[in-house]
Structure 1
Amino acid sequence: MVAEGGESAQSGRSSQWEEALLVSSHDAALGRLFRGTIHNLNGVLQVATFHGEMEGMMLARAAELFEQARRAESAELAALLAELEALLGGQRDSLGQFTEKINQGRGIMRRVVLTPALTPASGESWTLNDVLRAEIEFLCADSFFKHKVAKQLELAEDQPSLQGNLALFHEIVHRLLENALEAVRGREDAAITATTIANEAGVELVLRDNGPGVAQGDRERIFAPFYTTRPEHLGLGLFLARKLAGELGGEISCLAGAGGVFKLRLPAG
């Protein structure tokens, strides 16, 4: 009886710390969201500001050229008009980039407005591709990930909308991306490939990195709580990702292959 009671108490403590971890992870996800948003919006605003200043300079120069053209002789006029034509062409290109950045900023703000609630109650539908793009965007707050990691996306279209707590999907994808990032951190040729697959059974995400990979004997052990091959980590990321995937009726597995290969499978509907 004592042994059984001890096992029950231990199971209760395990459940408590897992629940506390989930709550903490959700709070951390919101913090990560806003850090990434601020970082990315700052980059958008810097580029938009630059192109706005360029627009002002080019318009001022265009006004000067028009004034000179009014007073110029025919030979000078041809040269001035050629310069003016080139200037207007550059202005058109700059305006295109300015508009692109404004639209990018709108996209970031759309995700900010919707994602903190992390619920489909807003009427917006989200797919696994949407979650993946958002988490990649937010992870770009990490300078190494943004500037040093080659990122390749191979995304299946016509995916079904995700059903359930959107926070869980975001947390799972973030944990998998973060694991891939740590595997390649410091490499000169760091690369991560994300592939999504959609079929009648559901949707899948396969993340590949060109890090050291996972030994065959460790492909299951790495999902155990507190198991890690990196001393500076707690060893809870993959454990949490798999647990959350299970709550959604899905699963995460580590596959054989060069580097690290992880597959997330989520059922349809």
Structure 2
Amino acid sequence: MRHPSSSMAIPFRPLVLWLATAALAVALLAAVQYRSGVAELSDWTRGTDTFLAEKLAQHDAHMTALAAVIRMSPTEPSAGVQGLAESITAFYPRVADIATIRIDGANAHVIAYGRAHGPAKEADLSAGDLPKLGKPGETAVRPISERHAYDIYKLVEAGRLLRLRINAAALFATDSLPSGYSVSLSLGDTVLFSRVSDQASIVDVKSSLSAGNPGQPLHLSISEGFSLGELFPFRLVLPLVLGSAAVVWFGVQYRNTRREKRRQELRATLLEQETRLAHAGRVNALGEMASGIAHELTQPVAAMLSQSQAARRALTLDRADILEQALDANIREAKRAGDILGRMRAYISGAEARIERVALSEALHGALRLVETDLAQQAITLDVTIAEAPRIVAIDVISFQQVIHNLIRNAADAVAGQPGARITLKAGSQNGQAVIAIADNGPGIDPALLDRIFEPFFTTKPDGMGLGLPLCIRLIEKVDGTIEVRNDGGACFTIRLPAGGAA
């Protein structure tokens, strides 16, 4: 019986994909529109900054010229000051008023210049209401919010000031402002001029700048509001939505075609792949089993060969004692080979290891006897340090000795032929565990290969089979131990075993 929602599954996923694609395309369009608007605002702000800086510099120039003329006119009203003031107000309408102020005790007498009917005396001011300027040339600025203007004062000479009144609104050509821009000009905490856009917006971006003129520290704030139509223009949104629908439809058709073709190919090759995998598994298992048996039996067979050769020499020397020792050694190695085969059968069948509580030093010395002669012939020094505790460990003795023998043989291969070749074996305890470290002074292991060193069939030796270290780690794990490897000058293998209690 078909599930009720299965009939809707086919169109539902393309619909969701189309909606997501269309939303992404529209969002990218809005981002592009937004970035374009922000770039325009930044350009307009930079242009305004330059334009404003030029005007403020002109104010400073006017003040300098007027101050020079005032100093040359000791008596007022002055025709020279009037002429220059008329020229300034005519060419620079934003200069709303020019006046000189003479301080006489507590009073200040004001004469206005630049008007069409000549200088005019204005009402006196209180000297205490004027800015305190210390020496000629110093300036001060004061806002006049109710007139949307600010005054610039300059001390021309002792007791004589020049005042320039600037119309803040006239600093900008407000008719050239873009419709969506809002502008605010302030001096300190006083807003001198502002214009707020009446355009509805959903996102606002603000840009601020401070005039670089120290005598007129104006602060300009410009913001732009983005309306819904500006961020999502219909003339562009509609083609994007339709285009995304077409792209999704073609994409879905292509995907379905490819998926069906791949499904048919997978179905056709599935049986063949399963057959190959099964065959490869059987071959790999058989190869690992046979190679493991050959690898482990090599050691006792080599020992029996060496002892048999010693027995043969003892016959020629008529040394019954040496012959007896050689025969005893052969018997031990034959039993050892049998034990190895028994361990291998148990390992293949998954049987439990034969755990015995033995002295750690005794188990180690038994393994070292197998390699001492060979190391001496290769001029490799073996340093052995066995601490007192822990004295007893719970191990499978044959397996443990095979691991020690294999690690020492690997170390010997790494240092063979080099001067001062040395292998160290240190045994002790740490955190309630028996710790055996086997290190050499060879070239070490490539750091890139450390993580793979215990993988089956992976080897760094030209004639290696890649089975020794994987078998070592499995044998140690059977007695709840671990093996680690690191580079410490040369390679260093560390075995950790649970302690077996007191002797």
TM-score range, shorter chain: 0.5 to 0.7
Contact 1:32 1:138 in 2 (8 A): no
Structure 2 equivalent of residue 152 of structure 1:
383
CA distance in 2, matches of 1:267, 1:42: 44
Q: Secondary structure at the match of 1:148?
A: coil
Q: Which amino acid aligns with 1:10?
A: A
Amino acid at match of 2:332: V
Could you tell me which of 231, 250, 260 is aligned with 2:462? 231
Which residue, 279, 288, 292 being the options, matches 1:18?
288
Cα distance change on mapping 1:37 and 1:161 into 2, 3 Å: farther
Which residue number corresponds to residue 90 of structure 2?
none
Q: Structure 1: any 5+ residue segments left out of the alignment?
A: 50-100
Residue 154 of structure 1 and its aligned partner are, at CA, apart by: 1.1
What residue in structure 1 maps to residue 216 of structure 2? Answer: none
Match in the other structure for 2:404: 173
Taking the aligned partners of 1:43 and 1:187, their CA distance within structure 2 comes to 32
Question: What secondary structure sits across from 2:382 in the alignment?
Answer: strand
Which residue of 2 is the match for residue 244 of structure 1?
475
Aligned to 2:229: none
Equivalence for 1:194: 425
> 1:190 & 1:251 partners in 2: Cα distance?
27
Q: Is the Cα contact below 8 Å between 1:212 and 1:260 reproduced in 2? A: yes
Residue identity in the other structure for 2:295: S
Contact 1:37 1:138 in 2 (8 A): no
Q: Does 1:136 align with 2:371?
A: no
Distance between the aligned counterparts of 2:399 and 2:337, measured in 1? 12
Task: Check conservation: 1:197, 1:203, Cα contact below 8 A.
Answer: yes
- Work out the CA distance in 2 between the residues paired with 1:193 and 1:180: 10
Choose which of 471, 477, 486 in structure 2 pairs with 1:255.
486
Q: Secondary structure at the match of 1:227?
A: coil
Is contact 2:394–2:479 with CA below 8 Å preserved after alignment? no
SS of equivalent to 1:255? strand
Change (3 A) 1:31 1:160: same
Partners of 2:295 and 2:468 within 8 A in 1: no
Distance 2:464 2:432 in 1: 35
Structure 2 residues not aligned, in runs of 5+: 1-269, 343-355
- Match of 1:133, SS state, is helix
Give the structure 2 partner of residue 163 of structure 1: 395
Give the Cα–Cα distance (whole angstroms) in 2 for the partners of residues 146 and 115 of structure 1: 24
Distance change >3 Å, CA 110–CA 24, structure 1 → 2: closer
Q: For residues 73-101 of structure 1, what are the alpha-carbon distances to aligned partners after superposition, in whole Å with 9 as ceiling and x for unaligned?
A: xxxxxxxxxxxxxxxxxxxxxxxxxxxx9
3-state SS in 2 of match to 1:256: strand
- Paired with 2:283 and 2:499, the residues of 1 have a C-alpha distance of 34
Aligned counterpart, 1:81: none
> Structure 1 residue 191: deviation in Å?
0.2
Whether the 8 Å CA contact 1:145–1:181 is kept in 2: the answer is no
Structure 1, residues 87-138: CA drift from partner, whole Å, max 9, x if none? xxxxxxxxxxxxxx99xx79x869938756649xxxx964343333223222
Q: Aligned-residue CA RMSD in angstroms?
A: 3.9
CA distance in 1, matches of 2:365, 2:479: 20
Superposed displacement of residue 155, structure 1: 0.7
- Residue 171 (structure 1) shift: 1.5
CA deviations 1:221-242 (Å, max 9, x no partner) are 2222333333233333223222
Q: Taking structure 1 as reference, are residues 127 and 21 closer, same or farther at Cα in structure 2, changes over 3 Å only?
A: farther
* Residue of structure 1 in register with 2:443 after alignment: 212
Report which of the two has the higher share of strand. Answer: 2
Please give the TM-score of this superposition, normalised by the length of structure 2. 0.35
Distance change in 2, residues 1:10/1:185 (3 Å): same
- Secondary structure in 1 aligned to 2:398? helix
Question: 2: CA distance between counterparts of 1:137 and 1:205?
Answer: 17
Using the TM superposition, give the Cα deviation of residue 257 of structure 1 relative to its aligned residue in structure 2, in angstroms.
1.1
Q: Do the aligned partners of residues 14 and 183 (structure 1) sit closer, same or farther apart at CA in structure 2, a change above 3 Å counting? A: same
Aligned length in residues: 209
- Tell me if the contact between 1:225 and 1:239 (Cα under 8 Å) persists in the aligned partners: yes
Residue number in structure 2 paired with 1:266: 497
CA contact (8 A) 1:37 1:112 kept: no
More contact order relative to length (CA 8 Å, sep ≥ 6): 1
Structure 2 letter corresponding to 1:127: A
Question: Contact 1:35–1:141 at 8 Å: present in 2 too?
Answer: no
Q: CA deviation at 1:35?
A: 4.2
Residue identity matched to 1:152:
D
Q: Larger Cα Rg: Structure 1 or Structure 2?
A: 2
The CA deviation string for residues 48-85 of structure 1, in whole angstroms up to 9 with x for no partner, is x8xxxxxxxxxxxxxxxxxxxxxxxxxxxxxxxxxxxx
Structure showing the higher helix proportion among its residues: 1
* 1:75 corresponds to: none
Check the 8 A contact 1:36/1:138 in 2, yes or no: no
Structure 1 Cα separation of the partners of residues 426 and 292 of structure 2: 27
For 1:134, the aligned partner's letter is G
Q: Is the 8 A contact 1:39 1:141 kept in 2?
A: no
Q: Deviation per CA, 1:155-197: give whole Å up to 9, x if none.
A: 1224224433x32112211110110000000012000000112
Q: Cα offset for 1:204? A: 2.2
CA contact (8 A) 1:183 1:212 kept: yes
Q: Any conservation in 2 of the 1:36–1:139 contact (CA below 8 Å)?
A: no
Structure 1 residue 17, shift from structure 2 partner: 2.5
